[in-house]
Amino acid sequence: MELGNIPQPTYGPGLEAPGSNTPGLLAMAHGFLRLVQPNPLPLEVIDFGQSQIEFNQEDIKELLLYEPGFLVCVAIGVLFIIFVPLVGCCFCCCRCCGNCGGRMYQKQEPGMGCRRWALWASVLLVTAFLLAGGVCAFISNARFSQAVNSTFPNVNNTLDNIRTYLASIPQQVDFIIDSSDVPLGHVNSSLQDIGPNLGSMITSHIRNSTDGALGSLQSLLQGMEKLEATFYDITTSHSDLEELQSQFGQRLDSLRDSLNQTLQRCGSPCNSVSLSDLTFTANFSTIPSVQQQLEALRDVSRSSTVTDLEKVNRTLNTISEKVQEQAQDVVAKTQDQLGFIRQEIRSLQEQLPFLDVEEKVGAFVGNITLVLEEYRGPIITWDGLRLIVCALLCCTVLLVVLCNVFGLLLGPLGLKEGVLPTKRSGLSNAGGNFFMAGVGFSFIFSWLLMLLVMIIFVVGGNVYMLFCESWRNQQLFQLLDTPGLIPGFNLSELLGQEGDTTNFSEIYRQCHQDASLWKTLHLDQRVSLDELLNISQYTGEISMAFEEMNITLSPVSLLNQTQEDMLLHASQAGQPPDFTLTLEQLDQNITQGSLLDLATELEQLAEKTDIDVKTDLEDEARKLREMDKEMQADFSGPLQSLKKNIHSVQSGAAQLEGQTRTALDKANKTQKFLERETPNIIKNETRTFLEQLLHFFETYISWAKSRLTEDVARCKPVAQTLDNVEVIGCDYIMDSVNAFWFSLGWCTLFLLPSIILSVRLAKFYRRMDIADVYRNEEFEMPPAFNYYIIPRPSTRH
């Protein structure tokens, strides 16, 4: 009985982590977060349902110990936000007062060119870092918008897989229920053909006992029939030989008389010829008669024994018809129970707990879909604004980079060696002014950038560590396994489970192994399949109906006493007489002498006698040869047949009596067995037939249990959905967020060395108001005055 396999739905492909254009940047951001936050998740402190008033000092201390890295970074960021604008204001005021490099005067010293090029290279390097960070920030900003826009289609595809999964559960249950038609159909078909089915079983069992006896009796009867035919052939051959002997005896006498006359005419030359051999050697009239054996065997063939044995076969062949007639009431009762079994199995759909899970999870998925559709428009709109704002902030970094680049290009192009600082070209002066403009923009926007970086870092970093990192090391599973920590989230209630025994991590692990929902949710603790699929009351009614069924068969009689006596008498009377003398006669020549030899002798004498006698002798020789030929032709067949038949009856009749007694013994034992065991055979075969019917139900019940517990609602799509959520939240969104704040923070930090180096380098390109001429007067003054050499500035107004 083939029940088939549970059809499994086809799901959409799972999400994969997107390829990153800046894998090194993500690795550095993740490494920095792990460095900042190396502590495990404080599960004992986390309670989303607890109000702020209920937090005690110990909980706050635990949280502070969990967040030391973030707190230090926040403190650094706050100091940056406060002190960088303050330092910028002080720097601006100081320069306005002619201090802090605000005085347009540059002291000329040895190695000025080397210092300038060193500063130029440093600014170039810092600018390159700023440009790299700005480009990465732009890319991350765009990727975040792409991630937000792709989130809704990805989530919808994921929810579609869940809907497909939920829709497949009742379909799979219906498949199991519909498969019950297979065993019910087999049982109904077996009941409708109960005659051929059960009847053939009973007939087969009875024939196992009767076929041996019937075969022996039929073989015995065939042997007696063959023996009868052989005895008849012996009688026929005997009669033929007697008739031939009579015919040829007269001809031999006539031929002997004619030869005597011829030999007398021949005279003395023919006196040596003897005619005593012209007589038959055997006397076929002395062959024993087999008429008594033939009559005894004919009594058997004329009796009704063969007909009675054929009647036994016909009686056995009608068992199926009698079973079909006498089992109609049982068939009707059993078919009624089949209807009840079908109704019981059909009600399985409503009693299985899958519907509760499907309904609750379906409602949860529906709510998620509604919420996503409700907030999809505003989220995309706000993300567009965010994209613009972040892009503008990234442009401030590029503005600083642009100022530095112009300064790096214009300064060296406009600066000529040997020209006094007060004589520098406008191109060189423009380069220095660009450096100072970059410094100004850095002071103006750096605190805004740091504020943005700090906010995104605190939020994004904590979300990544709390959700993504905890998900990957499965610390988050422990949080989800603890009931009551997340307000409004109760996994047991969502899945329709009683109590709070549902383990999220165990469900996730088993679903990854594509386990069935029955095993994953331990539904056997809620519902017993043995009780749901219990049809014992109906099978009990079927068994009772079969126990009450009474099948009566026509009596089977192999042989009656008269037939047994007749067969035994035939086996005894059918023994052949003593054919020893007959066989000896048959082995001799037909005549005492050879007719051919006598003919040859006459021909030889004819050569020695007169012409008249010669002709007569030759005629007599010719007659002898012709008679010999005729006798050989006529006697050969009957003689061979008689000899063969005698040997046949001797060998066949030798075992006839023993074979007869053996066959009769088998027939008697079989007859007693049938009289004693036929009711038991009917009962046992009926029970076997019933077990076959019940086996169909047992096979189906076993199959249904195994399919419900192993194949129905395989929950790998659930694990795939959770993996998709992790990919969407972490790989798509949080990686873009982390890359953005890390890139922007990179730029913000490199603004500080950019400010310092740009201020220092701008002095070498800007046009000075006060000139400074360096003179080497060591060779013009006496050594005593070398300690007091003072450069003489020349002023230019």
Residue listed under structure tokens 């879909």: 369
What are the tens digits of pLDDT across the range 668-680? 888 888 888 888 8
229 token code pair? 């035919």
343 token code pair? 């109704």
pLDDT value at residue 628: 79
Per-residue pLDDT at 279 exceeds 90? no
CA separation for the pair 285, 239 (Å, rounded): 9
Q: What 3-state class would DSSP assign to 795?
A: strand
Per-residue pLDDT at 93 exceeds 90? no
> Would you list the domain boundaries of the chain?
23-176+354-495+732-788, 191-337+555-694
* Residues in a beta bridge with 280: 591
pLDDT value at residue 56: 56
- 764: Cα separation from own chain's centroid: 79
Q: What 3-state class would DSSP assign to 794?
A: strand
Residue listed under structure tokens 């050569």: 607
520 token code pair? 């994953």
To which H or E segment does residue 771 belong? strand 770-771
Higher pLDDT, 495 or 17: 17
Closest CA to 234 of 252, 226, 4: 226
Range 728-739 average pLDDT:
87
pLDDT value at residue 776: 43
Which segment, 514-518, 579-583, 613-617, 620-624, is predicted with the most confidence on average?
Answer: 514-518
Residue listed under structure tokens 């109000």: 51
pLDDT band with cut points at 50, 70 and 90 for residue 207: confident
CA separation for the pair 59, 55 (Å, rounded): 6
Which segment, 113-117, 576-580, 681-685, is predicted with the most confidence on average?
Answer: 681-685
Range 530-555 average pLDDT:
84
Question: Is-contact 91 756, C-beta < 8 A?
Answer: no
- In this predicted structure, which of 125-129, 685-689, 791-795 has the lowest mean pLDDT? 791-795
241 CB-near residues (< 8 Å, 6+ apart): 284, 287, 635, 638, 639, 642
412 token code pair? 């060296």
655 token code pair? 């075992």
Question: Is-contact 214 309, C-beta < 8 A?
Answer: yes
618 token code pair? 């030759």
Range list of H helices, 347-472: 348-351, 354-414, 426-463, 470-472
436 CB-near residues (< 8 Å, 6+ apart): 758, 759, 762, 766
CA separation for the pair 201, 198 (Å, rounded): 5
Range 558-565 average pLDDT:
84
Closest CA to 707 of 177, 62, 110, 154: 177
Range 579-589 average pLDDT:
72
Q: Residue type at 620?
A: E
* Residues in a beta bridge with 516: 714
pLDDT value at residue 624: 77
pLDDT value at residue 422: 66
- In this predicted structure, which of 334-348, 508-522, 744-758, 777-791 has the lowest mean pLDDT? 777-791
pLDDT band with cut points at 50, 70 and 90 for residue 779: very low
Closest CA to 507 of 489, 496, 519: 519
Count other C-beta atoms under 10 Å from residue 46's C-beta. 17
pLDDT band with cut points at 50, 70 and 90 for residue 575: confident
Higher pLDDT, 221 or 580: 221
Per-residue pLDDT at 63 exceeds 70? no
CA separation for the pair 394, 401 (Å, rounded): 11
Measure the CA angle with vertex 462, ends 457 and 465; round to 5°.
Answer: 120
Q: What 3-state class would DSSP assign to 770?
A: strand
What are the tens digits of pLDDT across the range 695-716? 888 888 888 888 888 888 888 8
pLDDT value at residue 364: 79
157 CB-near residues (< 8 Å, 6+ apart): 12
What are the tens digits of pLDDT across the range 383-418? 889 889 888 888 888 998 999 898 888 878 877 776
Longest dimension (CA), the chain: 207
pLDDT value at residue 125: 93
- 46: Cα separation from own chain's centroid: 45
Per-residue pLDDT at 500 exceeds 60? no
Q: What is the pTM assigned to this prediction?
A: 0.68
Closest CA to 672 of 567, 558, 563: 558
Measure the CA angle with vertex 496, ends 6 and 492; round to 5°.
Answer: 115
CA separation for the pair 495, 484 (Å, rounded): 15
CA separation for the pair 357, 496 (Å, rounded): 6
pLDDT band with cut points at 50, 70 and 90 for residue 107: low
CA separation for the pair 706, 365 (Å, rounded): 29
What are the tens digits of pLDDT across the range 326-366? 888 888 888 888 888 888 888 877 777 776 677 777 787 88
Range 623-638 average pLDDT:
79
Question: Is-contact 446 751, C-beta < 8 A?
Answer: yes
pLDDT band with cut points at 50, 70 and 90 for residue 79: very high
pLDDT value at residue 128: 92
pLDDT band with cut points at 50, 70 and 90 for residue 237: confident
Strand ranges for 544-586 from DSSP E: none
Per-residue pLDDT at 496 exceeds 80? no
β-pairing verdict for 794-795 and 770-771 = antiparallel
Per-residue pLDDT at 568 exceeds 70? yes
Range list of H helices, 574-654: 580-587, 595-606, 611-654
Higher pLDDT, 282 or 444: 444
- 202: Cα separation from own chain's centroid: 41
Per the prediction, the chain carries an average pLDDT of 79
- For residue 85, count CB atoms less than 10 angstroms from its CB and return exposed for 0-12, middle for 13-18, buried for 19 or more: middle
Count other C-beta atoms under 10 Å from residue 374's C-beta. 10
DSSP string, 92-103: HHHHHTTTTTTS
Residue listed under structure tokens 């069924």: 549
